[in-house]
Amino acid sequence: MNLFDFTDGREGYYGEYGGTFLPEILHTTIEELKLEFRKAKEDPAFWQEFLQLMQSYSGRPTPVSYLENLSKKLGGAQIYVKREDLNHTGSHKINNVMGQGLLVKRMGKTRIIAETGAGQHGYATATMGARFGFDTKIYMGAHDVARQRPNVFWMENMGAEVVAVTDGQQTLKDAINECLRDWVTNMDNTHYVLGTACGPHPFPEMVSWFQSIIGKEARQQMLDNAGGLPDRIFACVGGGSNAMGLFQGFLDDEAVELVGCEAGGLGEGKGNHASRLAYKDASVGVAQGMKTYFLQNDDGNMLETHSVAAGLDYIGVNPVLVHLWEKERVRFEAVTDDEVTEALKMAMLTEGIIPALESAHGFAQAIKEAATMKPSERVLINMSGRGDKDIFTIADALGDEHWKRFIAQKADEYKAEKEG
């Protein structure tokens, strides 16, 4: 299945979803980007350059780990994990970022901007900016700045300017709006490094292409090391980039079931979660450059969203995934904040791994389903990132008294320093 063959349809559309909905002032810029991307995609040397960069700089290929303890404990399917957490900067976001960085060099631009939710994409972009010598500005909702300070710290120390966005809900969608405002002003020297497989065409295709490295590796690793393809694969879905990355490797394997795991937050009901497809609170709309499912009201204004995982706390979803969902190729499930915390604890205690809160959504759903499957079956989870960045949020969720005491003590030290 070639999702990106537009010869019989409209370019940038997947069924009725996708498209390029941008102000006219960006028309020339987006056309230029489409052209450069098309050239790169058709040039085998470009992918080779990308692979080498990812090997030498980010430690690819990332391994697939067999979770023997967890599999035994549940007594169902054998559980495997694709370790995107072992990338440099700790998540899959670096795949897309480095790819776009190579494109920016080709386009001769000198400045990059990016939105970030969890901060993982901003962190990866700051890294790329430092490595390639670009002037870097990161827009981040003020609410996310407050809950993801460790990533802000690293971004700033790698020379990026981090702007806290105080409009709207002060989360990911507002950071995207702010990037668009910067881009319509500075498009001559600036590339917008969009961090997920959303936004106007060609971003959903381009980000999915760079992330497809995950699924390509994972499929081969399952064949080589696990004795066969998985029966089901699980990925968390914020904008949809890590899920698209993994799923593309298995699209043509019809026996492999693809499961997207959304943020169920506090559970069903408008405003309680960020689930666009698994719950029935979203509808089709056009915003942030694309036509897709959005969590919106009857007037088309966006709803509040909630998730313990900042990276999944988003109103819209990748249009390709919506298309695949309608064709019943991808199943969507929602996982609540409470289920996520439990899955995270189990992963840490039984296997000594720390999934990011986003990735833990995939773990939770896989754990639930694996228990009901046969030991001869296999499941694969995309561990899109590592949880170290979430230490503040996780400590709160676990109510860790030792951590709280440590922070209080640090606060006292800083206070004394300031007053002394």
Ligand X SMILES: Cc1ncc(COP(=O)(O)O)c(C=O)c1O
Residue in 36, 58, 109, 115 annotated catalytic: 115
Residue in 208, 241, 307, 384 annotated catalytic: 384
Beta-strand pair 257-265/161-165: unpaired
The interface mask with other proteins, positions 166-195, x = CB under 8 A, is -xx----x--xx--xx--xxxxx-------
End-to-end CA distance of the chain: 66
Specify whether the CB–CB gap between 312 and 358 falls below 8 A. yes
CB of 298 to other proteins, least distance (A): 7
The closest alpha carbon to 238, from 265, 215, 206, belongs to 265
- 332 vs 278, 322, 335, 363, CA distance in Å? 5, 10, 10, 14
Any catalytic annotation for residue 93? yes
The closest alpha carbon to 288, from 97, 32, 22, belongs to 22
Out of ligand X, other proteins, none, which partner does residue 187 contact, by CB within 5 to 8 A per kind?
other proteins
| Amino acid at the residue 330 | V
Beta-strand pair 135-141/111-116: parallel
Residue from 8, 298, 401, 417 that binds other proteins (CB under 8 A)?
298
Residue in 34, 82, 93, 291 annotated catalytic: 93
Cβ distance to other proteins smaller for residue 188 or 253: 188
Spatial distance between the Cα atoms of 224 and 198, rounded to a whole number of angstroms: 33
**Chain positions contacting ligand X, by CB under 6 A:** 91, 93, 117-118, 120-121, 196, 236-243, 311-312, 356, 358-359, 384-385
Among residue numbers 308 through 367, which ones bind other proteins (CB under 8 A)? Answer: none
Among residue numbers 2 through 31, which ones bind other proteins (CB under 8 A)? Answer: 19-29
Residue from 120, 170, 296, 318 that binds other proteins (CB under 8 A)?
296
CB of 116 to ligand X, least distance (A): 7
The secondary element (H helix, E strand) that includes residue 162 is: strand 161-165
CB of 398 to ligand X, least distance (A): 19
Enumerate residues 6+ apart whose C-beta is below 8 A from 47: none
Cβ distance to ligand X smaller for residue 121 or 201: 121
Spatial distance between the Cα atoms of 285 and 296, rounded to a whole number of angstroms: 8
CB of 285 to other proteins, least distance (A): 5
CB of 177 to other proteins, least distance (A): 4
Residue from 75, 269, 301, 404 that binds other proteins (CB under 8 A)?
301
CB of 184 to other proteins, least distance (A): 6
CB of 298 to ligand X, least distance (A): 27
Any catalytic annotation for residue 384? yes
Specify whether the CB–CB gap between 155 and 162 falls below 8 A. yes
Enumerate residues 6+ apart whose C-beta is below 8 A from 165: 139, 140, 141, 142, 174, 175, 177, 178
Any catalytic annotation for residue 304? no
- The distance from CA 77 to its chain's CA centroid, rounded to whole angstroms, is 26
Spatial distance between the Cα atoms of 400 and 409, rounded to a whole number of angstroms: 15
Out of other proteins, ligand X, none, which partner does residue 12 contact, by CB within 5 to 8 A per kind?
none
CB of 169 to other proteins, least distance (A): 9
Cβ distance to other proteins smaller for residue 31 or 413: 31
- The distance from CA 252 to its chain's CA centroid, rounded to whole angstroms, is 23
Does 288 participate in binding other proteins (rule CB under 8 A)? yes
- 22 vs 19, 31, 162, 245, 300, CA distance in Å? 9, 11, 25, 25, 17
Does 270 participate in binding other proteins (rule CB under 8 A)? no
Specify whether the CB–CB gap between 110 and 81 falls below 8 A. no
Cβ distance to other proteins smaller for residue 110 or 177: 177
Does 111 participate in binding other proteins (rule CB under 8 A)? no
Residues touching other proteins, count (CB under 8 A) = 36
Cβ distance to other proteins smaller for residue 62 or 296: 296
Out of other proteins, ligand X, none, which partner does residue 300 contact, by CB within 5 to 8 A per kind?
other proteins
Side-chain half-sphere exposure of 153, counting CA atoms within 13 A: 6
Catalytic residue IDs: 93, 115, 384
Residues near other proteins (CB under 8 A): 19-29, 167-168, 173, 176-177, 180-181, 184-188, 283, 285-288, 291, 294, 296, 298-302
